[in-house]
C-alpha cells in the first residue's frame, strides 16, 4: 500500500456509527461524477520563497512590507512554504480525493523586467502541473491572482494601458510553455478587488485611493483579460478559457423604494461592473450615476476585445451585504443583528449564492457554464489532541453546496465547486490570523493537519467514486 493509498483509506472508511454532517442527500446533483469538487489556492498566499530562483518583487511584497498595511506586520515571505513543499501538498489533494485543483501562477516568478522567460520559475509550474496530471487531478490555472510585478506598478500598474499588453505577453508565454498541461485557464481572479480595493480605497496593494483610479484600473484589467483570451485560444486551443469574478448579494433593509434602489446599486457596483462588459460589451450606466465623473477612457474596439466569448465563468461568493439608501443616489451598509457570522465578520447567507446564480441566468442570455471557484469561511481553528474540529465550516460548506444544488435544479449550468482553501494561508491584509483552509497549517513548523471538514469531504468523494465504480 502506497503512502497516498494509506492516507486515503484513513478518510474513506470511518466508523459507521459516526455521524456525518456533510454528505448531501441522495437526491443531490452533487453525487454526479461530472460535477467537479476541487480545492483552490493562490501563489502569494502559499508559496513563499519570494526571493528564490529569479522571482522578482510583486506589489504585495511591497505592500505587506509597509508598516500598518497588514495585520501584525505579516508578509508572504514564507507563507505555507509551498514552493518547497509542493509535492506533499499535492499528495494532500490525493489523500482528500479532490478531483480538481485551482492554483495561480506568480507573474513575477516567470518573467524578468524585460519580459524574458525565467526558466527556473516556469519549471516549477511545469513540475506542478505534470504531477497533477499523473494523479489524474484536473488543472485550473489562474494567471493573475493580484501579484503584479512591482516594476510594472512603478510604471503606473493597472492605471497604465500598457500593463494590459504586458499581461497579454505573459499569457502568451505561459500558454506556450505549459500547453497541454492546463485543463482550464483563468485570466484574472476577482478584478473587482484588484480595481476597487487596490486603486479605489487602498485596502489592498498597491494601496491607492481614488474613484477614477478604480474604474480606469478595471478597464485595463478587463482589456488585459480580453487580449489574453485571444492568445490563449491561439496557443492552447484544447483548454477552456474563463475569468473569475467575486460577486456580492445586496439586500434591502426595508421594502421602501429608496432601499430597494440602494440594494440594486450595490449589485451594480459589485457584479454588473464586471459582468456587463464581459457579457454585454458595455459598462452599466447606473455605475456612473453612483460614481459620477469616474468614466474610464475607452478606446475604439476595447469593449469588443473585453467581450471575447468565454468557455466558463468562475464565481467566488462569501457573504451578503444588507444595505439602505444613503439619502442620495447610493447606499450604506445596514448590518442585521442576530445573524451567524464568520471570523471575518461576514454574514453566513447561502441563499445569496443561489439568488445570484439564478439572477445571472435571467439577466445574461449568453451566460457561460459556471464553476464556483471560491467558497469558504475563516474560523479561529486550532489543533487539539491532533485534530481540528471545524464544526462551523462543515455546516457552512454543506449549506452552500445545497444552495448550488438549488440553482442547478432551477436550470443554471454549474459544472463544479472549489473549496477555499486547501490550506490555511496568508489572508492578504489580515495576515495569518484568519484561517480559511480545510487543512490546518502550523506556520512555525509548517505541519499540515487535515481538519474535520477535510475528512468529511474526503469521505463523500470516496463514496461517490465507489458508486461510480460499482
> Which residues participate in the annotated binding site for substrate?
45, 145, 189, 318, 420, 427-428
What are the distances in angstroms from CA 388 to CA 9, 347, 439, 448, 457?
19, 23, 9, 11, 14
| Numbered residues of the known binding site | 45, 145, 189, 318, 420, 427-428
Active-site residue among 47, 99, 190, 455? Answer: 190
Q: Which of 458, 450, 457 is nearest to 388 (CA)?
A: 450
Check if 257 is active-site. Answer: no
pLDDT-derived band of residue 6, with 50, 70 and 90 as boundaries?
Answer: very low
Q: What is the mean pLDDT of the chain?
A: 95
**Which residue in 47, 99, 347, 374 is the catalytic one?**
374
How many angstroms separate the CA atoms of 327 and 340, rounded? 28
The pTM of the full predicted model, rounded to 2 decimals, is 0.95
- Of residues 8 and 94, the one with the higher pLDDT is 94
The rounded Cα 247 to chain-centroid distance in angstroms is: 11
pLDDT at 13 over 80: no
Is the pLDDT assigned to residue 2 strictly greater than 70? no
Task: Give the residue carrying C-alpha cell 466569448.
Answer: 309
* In the chain, domain spans: 3-469
Residue 255's Cβ-count burial label (10 Å; 0-12, 13-18, 19+) is: exposed
Known catalytic residue at 374 = yes
Q: pLDDT value at position 329?
A: 86
In the chain, what is the greatest distance between 2 CA atoms, to the nearest angstrom? 67
Tens digit of pLDDT for each residue in 134-162?
999 999 999 999 999 999 999 999 999 99
Fold that domain 3-469 belongs to in CATH = TIM Barrel (3.20.20)
Report the distance separating Cα 60 and Cα 424, nearest Å: 18
Closest C-alpha among 53, 52, 78 to residue 64: 78
Q: Alpha-carbon distance 470 to 268, whole Å?
A: 47
Round to whole Å and give the CA distance between 237 and 182: 11
Amino acid at each position: 500500500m502506497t503512502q497516498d493509498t494509506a492516507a486515503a483509506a484513513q478518510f474513506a472508511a470511518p466508523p459507521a456509527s459516526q455521524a456525518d454532517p456533510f454528505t448531501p442527500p441522495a437526491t443531490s446533483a452533487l453525487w454526479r461524477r461530472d460535477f467537479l469538487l476541487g480545492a483552490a489556492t493562490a501563489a502569494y498566499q502559499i508559496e513563499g520563497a519570494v526571493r528564490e530562483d529569479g522571482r522578482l518583487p510583486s506589489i504585495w511584497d511591497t505592500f505587506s512590507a509597509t508598516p500598518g498595511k497588514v495585520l501584525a506586520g505579516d508578509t508572504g515571505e514564507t507563507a505555507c512554504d509551498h514552493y518547497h513543499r509542493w509535492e506533499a501538498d499535492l499528495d494532500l489533494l490525493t489523500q482528500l480525493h479532490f478531483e480538481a485543483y485551482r492554483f495561480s501562477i506568480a507573474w513575477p516568478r516567470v518573467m524578468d523586467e524585460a519580459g524574458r522567460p525565467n526558466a527556473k520559475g516556469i519549471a516549477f509550474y511545469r513540475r506542478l502541473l505534470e504531477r497533477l496530471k499523473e494523479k489524474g487531478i484536473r488543472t485550473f490555472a489562474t494567471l493573475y491572482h493580484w501579484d503584479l510585478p512591482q516594476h510594472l506598478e512603478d510604471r503606473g500598474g493597472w492605471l497604465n494601458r500598457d500593463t494590459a499588453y504586458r499581461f497579454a505577453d505573459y499569457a502568451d508565454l505561459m500558454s506556450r510553455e505549459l500547453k497541454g498541461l492546463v485543463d482550464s485557464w483563468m485570466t484574472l481572479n476577482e478584478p473587482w478587488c484588484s480595481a476597487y480595493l487596490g486603486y479605489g480605497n487602498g485596502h489592498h496593494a498597491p494601496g491607492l485611493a481614488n474613484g477614477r483610479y478604480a474604474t480606469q484600473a478595471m478597464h485595463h484589467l478587463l482589456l488585459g483579460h480580453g487580449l489574453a483570451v485571444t492568445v490563449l485560444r491561439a496557443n492552447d486551443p484544447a483548454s477552456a478559457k474563463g475569468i473569475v469574478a467575486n460577486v456580492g448579494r445586496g439586500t434591502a433593509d426595508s421594502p421602501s423604494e429608496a432601499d430597494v434602489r440602494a440594494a440594486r446599486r450595490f449589485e451594480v457596483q459589485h457584479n454588473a461592473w464586471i459582468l456587463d462588459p464581459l457579457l454585454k460589451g458595455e459598462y452599466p450606466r447606473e455605475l456612473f450615476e453612483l460614481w459620477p465623473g469616474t468614466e474610464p477612457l475607452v478606446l475604439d474596439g476595447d469593449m469588443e476585445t473585453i467581450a471575447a466569448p468565454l468557455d466558463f465563468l468562475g464565481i467566488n461568493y462569501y457573504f451578503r451585504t444588507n444595505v439602505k439608501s444613503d439619502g442620495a443616489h447610493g447606499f450604506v451598509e445596514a448590518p442585521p443583528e442576530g445573524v451567524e457570522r464568520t471570523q471575518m465578520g461576514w454574514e453566513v447567507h447561502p441563499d445569496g449564492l443561489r439568488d445570484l446564480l439564478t439572477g445571472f441566468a435571467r439577466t445574461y442570455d449568453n451566460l457561460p457554464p459556471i464553476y464556483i471557484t471560491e467558497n469558504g469561511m475563516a474560523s479561529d481553528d486550532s489543533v487539539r489532541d491532533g485534530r481540528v474540529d471545524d464544526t462551523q465550516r462543515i455546516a457552512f460548506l454543506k449549506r452552500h453546496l445545497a444552495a448550488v444544488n438549488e440553482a442547478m435544479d432551477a436550470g443554471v449550468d454549474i459544472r463544479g465547486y472549489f473549496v477555499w482553501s486547501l490550506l490555511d494561508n496568508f489572508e492578504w491584509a489580515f495576515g495569518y490570523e484568519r484561517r480559511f483552509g480545510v487543512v490546518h497549517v502550523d506556520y512555525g513548523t509548517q505541519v499540515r493537519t487535515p481538519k474535520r471538514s477535510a475528512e468529511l469531504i474526503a469521505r463523500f468523494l470516496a463514496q461517490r467514486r465507489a458508486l461510480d465504480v460499482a
